[in-house]
Amino acid sequence: MTRALITNDDGIAAPGLHALARAAQAAGLDVTIAAPAVQSSGASASIMAEDHDGRIDVERRTLAGLEGIPAFAVHGGPGLIALIAAHGAFGDPPELVLSGVNHGANVGRAILHSGTVGAALTGGLNGAHALAISLDVGMRPTQFHWDAAATAAVALVPQLLARPAGTVINVNAPNTATHRGIRESTLAPFGIVQTTLSERDEHHIRLAVEDLPNTPEPGTDAAHLAEGWVTVTGLDSVSDVALGVG
């Protein structure tokens, strides 16, 4: 069986994480869960952690409905978790990193800031196949189709594993029980929400998240997702660019 690490940036208690673990187990993967002990959204691929004398706390957890799966709450972000997993922190290094299901879409170049995507990129950089999966819940959701998103993501795993180790894909699913199908998509120039500075004084600032007012560019992940497709985008983790200097 393929060894799979299930992680996220919403934390160990997040329903999207549990849905992804269930779907991965049902697909016959050898699943281990390791996720942040607390909310870590926006962590990107950071390896910062809460430590004591250089030691990072890791707590064994039993998750309801997932009692047979080893689960760990880590006092650090998802990028760190993917990194230490690659070095054997939770047993043999994973061959597959599945990150999500995130609460909210991760589309466009704004995925740079996503902890969900950061974990997948870190997994890929360390030799695993990796997939980030996010659910487009919008700003005021009334229901959450976690299982549908998780099932759509896990259905892509055979195609992912057929590609070279280190391949990373970013997947987004509409918040619906069914979808129109799978569409490979380019990254939108931005995301589907924007972060703005809503308050500032001498001692503090406050940020707010708002929907972008523009219509997504055709063919991008943001546009396909809005049309009801599950979007798939291949990502480079870290690459160099020739400058012609010297």
Tell me: the pLDDT tens digits for 211-245? Answer: 555 678 899 999 999 999 999 999 997 888 899 99
Q: Which of the residue ranges 67-81, 192-206, 232-246 has the most confident prediction, judged by mean pLDDT? A: 67-81
Query: Which band of pLDDT confidence, cut at 50, 70 and 90, is reported for residue 93?
Result: very high
Return the amino acid letter for 231.
Answer: T
What pLDDT, on the 0 to 100 scale, is given for residue 186? Answer: 96
Nearest to 185 by CA among 127, 125, 110, 235: 235
What pLDDT, on the 0 to 100 scale, is given for residue 238? Answer: 84
Q: Which two tokens stand for residue 224?
A: 């396909």
Distance CA 123, CA 225 (A): 25
For 72-211, where are the alpha helices, taking DSSP H only? 78-86, 115-125, 146-155, 157-161
**Over the chain, what is the mean pLDDT?**
91
Instruction: Please check whether residue 18 is in contact with residue 54, taking contact to mean a CB–CB distance below 8 angstroms.
Output: no
pLDDT higher than threshold 90 for residue 181: yes
Distance CA 226, CA 229 (A): 7
Residues 16-27 have a mean pLDDT of 98
Say whether the peptide bond before residue 193 is cis (omega within 30 degrees of 0). Answer: no
Query: Which band of pLDDT confidence, cut at 50, 70 and 90, is reported for residue 104?
Result: very high
pLDDT in tens, 23-66: 999 999 999 999 999 988 888 888 777 777 778 899 999 999 99
Give the total residue count for the chain. Answer: 246
Residues 186-212 have a mean pLDDT of 70
Give percent of the chain above pLDDT 70.
93
Measured at the CA of 182, the angle between CA 228 and CA 193, to 5 degrees, comes to 45
Give percent of the chain above pLDDT 90.
75
pLDDT higher than threshold 80 for residue 18: yes
* Concatenated DSSP letters of 196-236: EEEEE-SS-EEEEEEE--SPPPTTBHHHHHHTTPEEEEEE-
What pLDDT, on the 0 to 100 scale, is given for residue 239? Answer: 84
Q: Name the residue ranges covered by the structural domains of the chain.
A: 3-188+217-235
Residues 93-101 have a mean pLDDT of 98
Phi, psi of 234 (to 5 degrees): -75, 140
For helices 78-86 and 115-125, what crossing angle results, to 10°?
Answer: 20
Instruction: Please check whether residue 191 is in contact with residue 108, taking contact to mean a CB–CB distance below 8 angstroms.
Output: yes
CA separation, residue 53 to residues 25, 57, 157 (Å):
36, 11, 39
Query: Which band of pLDDT confidence, cut at 50, 70 and 90, is reported for residue 201?
Result: confident
What pLDDT, on the 0 to 100 scale, is given for residue 206? Answer: 74
* CATH 2.170.190.11 correct for 3-188+217-235: no
